[in-house]
Amino acid sequence: MAKRSVTHATFIIERDYDATPERVFKAFEDTEAKRRWFVEGEGWIIEEYTADFRVGGFERSRFRFKEGPVMTNDTVYQEIAPNERIITAYTMTIDGAPISASLATIEFQKRGNGARLRFTEQGAYLDGHDDIAGREAGTRELFDALDRELKRAG
């Protein structure tokens, strides 16, 4: 068993989208849309994806990259203000081992004809899985995928 450790850190990502806050929010609310940008991707094998978008509801993903280890993301919705903000808590595991627990705040603001998304992750990174720059980079890739989803849907 790995020695237990917890590293706490916070990072913030801001992104401007060429879509209204309502459309960006919808890409989080709608299970089919969210699956496309949040879990699917070339080389990724999705073993499970279920969502229940309401306060107290869980979203569960189970996936791996090609022959890599199984990874999971269990998200629980903590606060939802339609078109304005979503707060989740999410945990991740790799190969059965917990690697992180995070509080994620997503705020949507109107900017001209589009929307600014502000994402704040307050995380507890476990047992040496404290590559916070890597987590931030992975999260930025998700918001790139969200941009593609909005362009596709637009």
Cα distance between the two ends of the chain: 48
C-beta of residue 90 within 8 angstroms of C-beta of residue 64: no
Check residue 120 for interaction with a second copy (CB under 8 A): yes
Q: Which of 70, 103, 142, 145 binds a second copy (CB under 8 A)?
A: 103
Tokens of residue 79, six digits:
């606060």
- Span near a second copy by CB under 8 A; candidates 22-30, 61-69, 122-130, 145-153: 122-130
Rounded CA gap, 145 and 26, in Å? 15
Q: Which is nearer to a second copy, 37 or 77 (CB)?
A: 77
Q: Which is nearer to a second copy, 98 or 114 (CB)?
A: 98
Check residue 56 for interaction with a second copy (CB under 8 A): yes
Give exposure, 42-74, as e/b (b: 16+ Cβ within 10 Å): eeeeeeebebeeeeeeebebbbbeeeeeebbbe
- Span near a second copy by CB under 8 A; candidates 18-26, 38-46, 54-62, 140-148: 54-62
The two counts, helices (H) then strands (E), for the chain are 3, 7
What are the residues binding a second copy (CB under 8 A)?
4, 6, 8, 10, 55-56, 58, 74, 76, 78-79, 81, 84-85, 87, 89, 91, 98, 101-103, 105, 107, 120, 122-124, 126
